[in-house]
Structure 1
Amino acid sequence: MTDQTPPLDADQVAAWLEQHPDFFTDREDLLADMRIPHQRGTTVSLVERQLGLLRDRNAELRHRLAHLMDVARDNDRLFDKTRRLVLDLLDANTLEDVISTVEDSLRHEFKVPYVGLILFHEVPLPVGRSVTSAEAHQVIGGLLSGGKAVSGVLRPHELQFLFGEAAQDEVGSAAVAPLIYQGMHGVLAIGSPDPQHYKSSLGTVFLTHVAEVLSRTLLRFPTPLRSVR
């Protein structure tokens, strides 16, 4: 059965409010959205102007609050994914497990389209990708010189080194973190096809944290425990 109650007209609303003068006492939010003109001729009164400013400010605060809530939810999800990655690294028993854990988590959990994990070793390792430290510094020395994570648009030869020749024309921007703990162990890079995604001013707290945990984990495996099957 549908509701056949006729809508209230303005006179009925006014009569009801006259009988309930305290209706707005605990409903200040309704007052903020009401439009009550106070004007004589073409002149807008100070009261109406103040109400308009308060209404605009209220809308702006609501927008800011909604944005902060979205950021908080994104940070919660990022923290949870990072926590699981760290725990998986702590449970890793081989160098192969460490490499696959990082690469799989970044690609599938964090949805990073391009991941580059390169370890520095004087002889080729049977797991993952490895180069000598001298070779790495020759190609991407500028990215490693500061010892901190950097982000932005990289040069073609840097992209080729980090992500492979096939991806150098596809990566628009990247973030790069050296793996440093009691010596330089390698480099971890993540990339996006969007040139604006990893801006030079973008915070790299997340990538730095993962790189720090990974650097300490790698010390548990000075040499690979087993080869790739």
Structure 2
Amino acid sequence: MAAGNEQAQTVAAAVELNDELVREYLKHNGDFLQRNPDMLDHLHISHASGSAVSLVEKQVSVLRERNIDMRHRLTHLTTNARENDRLYTHTRALVLALLDANTLDELYTAFTRAMREEFKVEHASFILFGDPRESATCRIEPLESARIEIGALIRAHKPVCGVLRKEELGYLFPDAGGVGSAALMPLVDGDEELGLIAVGSADTGRYSSSTGTLFLTHIADVMVRLLPRLRAAG
């Protein structure tokens, strides 16, 4: 028996205790400190200020920081949820108003009123491509002139957001003055370019490449389906 103890002691001495062995042991024995709570008083961690704090104090500090971070994340998620809910409500109301339109004038009025009163947009533009002599409240421009002025914005038939050139902003919002940024969505039916809708702001950071354009795209899809019928009726 004594020989066995001596052998065990010899083997233990041969294994040099190091940080890695301690780490591995604690990883596989997560309840070590729970089984040995007195060890908490002997473990200290350097604080950012240079002083030493106990492991319990450190854990409390970490948990407090995580709690603050989680609160910030929850606030951010709640804010986004409320904003998305607001956008959904206003977009739904606008779509219904667009569907009720019986003329181009009513379509134009429904869009611009919603942008101004519900979405709180500083500047909104609804341009159709065609003969400028066509009788309508909304703005009608020749497609060729649009390609000359804002060809880069409508060529891809995709939404565009960001700070635009002065000439581009002037074409979209003639009476807006120094518009800072804009979001634009072409109205395209297959290969036919029908027009565009756009919103603008004096804030250069209001519309950027990271700005979501889902609601604007959705509105454009509805308009594209309504325009052929309304233009034929008009």
- Whether TM-score is above 0.5 comes out as yes
Partner of 2:141: 131
SS at match of 2:90: helix
Residue type at the aligned position of 1:186: G
If each structure's helix is expressed as a fraction of its own residues, which one has the higher value?
2
For residue 157 of structure 1, the aligned residue among 158, 164, 167 is 167
CA distance in 1, matches of 2:233, 2:112: 17
Q: Is the CA contact 1:126–1:224 (under 8 Å) kept in the aligned structure 2?
A: no
Could you tell me which runs of 5 or more consecutive residues in structure 1 were left unpaired when the two chains were aligned: 1-37
Query: Do 1:114 and 1:190's aligned partners in 2 also have CA atoms closer than 8 Å?
Result: yes
Equivalent residues, number: 186
Q: Name which one, 1 or 2, has greater alpha-carbon Rg.
A: 2
Give me the whole-angstrom Cα distance separating, in 2, the residues matched to 1:130 and 1:144. 16
Percent same amino acid among aligned pairs? 45
Q: CA RMSD in A?
A: 1.8
- Aligned AA for 2:125? G
Q: Which runs of 4+ in 1 moved over 4 A?
A: none
1:74 — aligned with what?
83
Q: How far apart are residue 123 of structure 1 and its match?
A: 4.8
CA distance in 2, matches of 1:200, 1:98: 28
Which deviations, in whole Å up to 9, do the C-alpha atoms of 1:200-229 show, x marking residues without a partner?
22221111111111111112123462xxxx
Structure 1 residue 179 corresponds to structure 2 residue 179: no
Amino acid at match of 2:230: F
Structure 1 equivalent of residue 151 of structure 2: 141
DSSP-derived class of the 1:134 partner: helix
Q: Does residue 52 in structure 1 map to residue 61 in structure 2?
A: yes
- CA deviations 1:146-197 (Å, max 9, x no partner) are 1110011111111111111x32x32110001101123211011100010011
- State whether residues 175 and 190 of structure 1, in contact with CA within 8 Å, keep that contact through their aligned partners in structure 2: yes
Q: Does the residue aligned with 1:220 lie in a helix, a strand or coil?
A: helix
So what's the TM-score if we normalise by structure 1?
Answer: 0.77
* CA–CA distance in structure 1, aligned partners of residues 90 and 188 of structure 2: 23
Matches within 5 A, 1:113-128: 113-127=122-136, 128=138
Greater RCO (Cα-Cα under 8 Å, separation 6 or more) = 1
Query: Which amino acid is 1:45 matched to?
Result: S
What letter corresponds to residue 222 of structure 2 in structure 1?
A: V
Matches of residues 88-103 of structure 1 in structure 2 within 5 Å?
Answer: 88-103=97-112
